[in-house]
Amino acid sequence: MDVESLVKRKITVSYVTTMVTSIFLAYLYMDDGIKAGTPFNLGGEFLGWLSIYSMYVGAIVLIYGNLISVGIKYLQKNGLLNIHGFTFCFIVFWVYLMVCFFRKRH
């Protein structure tokens, strides 16, 4: 695999992951304000919280996400991890995170 295409793909995935996560977290913050009965300046609040979350989430995704991704690629290259085992671990991890999130939220 070409190094240039790998770097482009990692940067694109990091950006998309950061934006999706930041939009979701900014929406959750605004949702609390809407339920409290203060639907004022929602656009400004959304952009403000989006930029704050993007800085923090972006740093986490860029550092830890890419390190884990490179580690998984290394394990797959050496034959220590097959694609089915990775997919199963990935699904179990995200189901666990969603269960923990919704249990605390509701």
Closest listed residue to residue 62, CA positions, set 21, 1, 3, 94: 21
Which pLDDT score, from 0 to 100, does residue 106 have?
52
What tens digit of pLDDT does each residue of 21-61 get? 999 988 888 887 777 777 777 888 889 999 999 999 888 88
Tell me the average pLDDT across 9-22: 90
Interhelix angle 3-35/66-77, nearest 10 degrees = 140
82 Cβ contact partners less than 8 Å away, ≥ 6 residues apart: 76
Tell me the average pLDDT across 88-93: 77
The pTM (predicted TM-score) of the whole model is 0.67
What tens digit of pLDDT does each residue of 57-73 get? 888 888 888 887 777 77
